[in-house]
Each structure stands twice: as C-alpha cells, then as structure tokens.
C-alpha cells in the first residue's frame, strides 16, 4: 500500500518548520477542545530542532499536553546523545514548559523503566494524537534498525507491547522505542525529513517491493502518513 502517504514539500527548512508547527499546534488544540487533553510523541536527532523551537512558541494550552519520545538512546538526559535532553532544551521552553513530559530513560534500571513507560503510554498515549517520525539514511525510523535483533517483533502490527528495548550494532548503544503497533494507531503521523540524501532513501523505500522499516510503518499506518520534506 505504497499510496498510504501524502507529500508536503517546502522550499527551505524554515518554511517546513513553520508549517509543521502550525499543523501540529492546530491538531493538538483541536484534541484539547474535544477531550481536554492531547498527546505528542516526537523524535530526536538533529532534524527537528528548528521545528521544536517554533512549536514551543505556539499559543496552545500546554498544560493539557502530554509529550513523550518515539525512541531514545538508553542514556541519561545529561548525555549529548539523549533525545530527552534535546526535547528539554528545544521544545519544553517558554509556555511549552507546562507540558507533561515522559522520558523513556528513568532510573537506569531497564526492566523498571520499561514497566513505568508502558504504564504511562497505556494511560496517556493509547494511541498518541500526534506522532512525529524521523528517518535515517538506512531507512530506519523510530529505533527500527534494519540490523536490530528484535526487528520483526518491533514491526509486528498486532504486538501487545507498546515499548521495547532494541539491540542493534548500527544503533551505537541500547535503545528504547515505541513499537509499530502503537505508532501505527496515532491519529496524525508525520515523517519529517530534510536533505537530498533522505529524499533518495524515501524514494527507495516507496519503490515496489521495498521492505525498509519506514516503508513498513507507512504501509501499516491506520491513516495516511504526512511527509514533510525540505532540501
């Protein structure tokens, strides 16, 4: 089902960040009006920094928003490789500091952190209202690395797990990730990518017969994935 997506192309990254922030803010605000709460799952890496900064200034009721991560390196937020550290520095600033944040790394005790995150996800992110995905040049999204030992379990759309640990040589360290079974049910799913290399990977993923992880997520999503791309 390669057509389960829509492309939104922008002339530059500033325009993309502004448009994506406006769209996400509108979606969260509508959910708050309807249910008095909204949930947002975001990705890390270098790509979303500008988007986070713009979104943090959006005029929405941040105290009614629950925020978590699509995936995380299993490191404390003091590490420069921590996605939680990025979110705290770039998104949870100003008015957005009133949002409720669930980091996936907690005590540093893996089983306990998985149980705590599973409880929080089941309560507040079942499913997420908005999920913002990124993508690596190898076609991975979330922590669905092509060489992950757990890949097929992570990509099982019928799995009852909402979060899982990931062991992959290419990941660099242990990761925690939301599973496909949770991500695919998000009410609004965005794939945010930038640059020619990422676009080439996406085109490869969308080609007939591709089994790259991002393609499997797009195919499994319960609503069309909105692709936001800029050079």
φ and ψ at residue 37, rounded to 5 degrees: -155, 160
Per the structure, how many domains does the chain have?
1
Task: For residue 159, give the CATH number of its domain.
Answer: 3.40.50.1360
Cα atoms in the 13 Å half-sphere on the side-chain side of 83: 28
* Alpha-helical runs (H) found in 99-212: 110-124, 151-154, 180-183, 196-205
Rounded CA-CA distance 116/191 in Å is 27
Q: What is the pLDDT of residue 1?
A: 42
Please list the pLDDT of the chain residue by residue as tens digits (231 residues): 448 999 999 999 999 999 999 999 999 999 999 999 999 999 999 999 999 999 999 999 999 999 999 999 999 999 999 999 999 999 999 999 999 999 999 999 999 999 999 999 999 999 999 999 999 999 999 999 999 999 999 999 999 999 999 999 999 999 999 999 999 999 999 999 999 999 999 999 999 999 999 999 999 999 999 999 999
Phi, psi of 71 (to 5 degrees): -155, 170
d(CA 40, CA 186): 9
Residues shown for the chain: 231
Pairing relationship of beta strands 163-166 and 175-178 according to DSSP bridges: antiparallel
Strand 225-230 versus strand 188-194 pairing type = parallel
pLDDT at position 23 is 98
What pLDDT score does 3 carry?
A: 85
Domain range for residue 55?
A: 5-230
Distance CA 39, CA 126 (A): 9
The model carries a pTM of 0.97
pLDDT at 21: 98
């Amino acid at each position: 089902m390669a057509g389960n997506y829509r492309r939104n192309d922008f002339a530059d990254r500033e325009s993309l960040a502004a448009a994506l922030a406006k769209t996400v803010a509108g979606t969260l605000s509508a959910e708050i009006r309807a249910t008095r709460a909204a949930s947002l799952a975001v990705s890390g890496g270098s790509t979303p920094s500008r988007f986070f900064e713009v979104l943090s200034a959006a005029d929405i009721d941040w105290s009614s928003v629950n925020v978590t991560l699509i995936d995380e390196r299993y490191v404390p937020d003091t590490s420069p490789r921590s996605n939680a550290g990025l979110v705290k520095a770039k998104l949870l600033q100003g008015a957005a500091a009133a949002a409720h944040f669930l980091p996936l790394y907690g005590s540093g005790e893996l089983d306990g952190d998985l149980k705590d995150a599973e409880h929080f996800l089941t309560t507040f992110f079942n499913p997420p209202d908005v999920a913002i995905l990124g993508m690596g040049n190898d076609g991975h999204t979330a922590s669905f690395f092509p060489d992950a030992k757990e890949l097929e379990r992570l990509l099982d759309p019928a799995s009852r797990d909402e979060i899982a640990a990931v062991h992959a040589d290419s990941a660099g360290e242990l990761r925690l990730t939301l599973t496909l079974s949770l991500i695919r049910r998000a009410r609004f799913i965005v794939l945010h990518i930038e640059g020619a290399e990422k676009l080439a990977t996406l085109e490869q993923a969308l080609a007939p017969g591709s089994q790259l992880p991002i393609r499997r997520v797009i195919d499994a999503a319960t609503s069309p994935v909105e692709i936001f791309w800029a050079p």
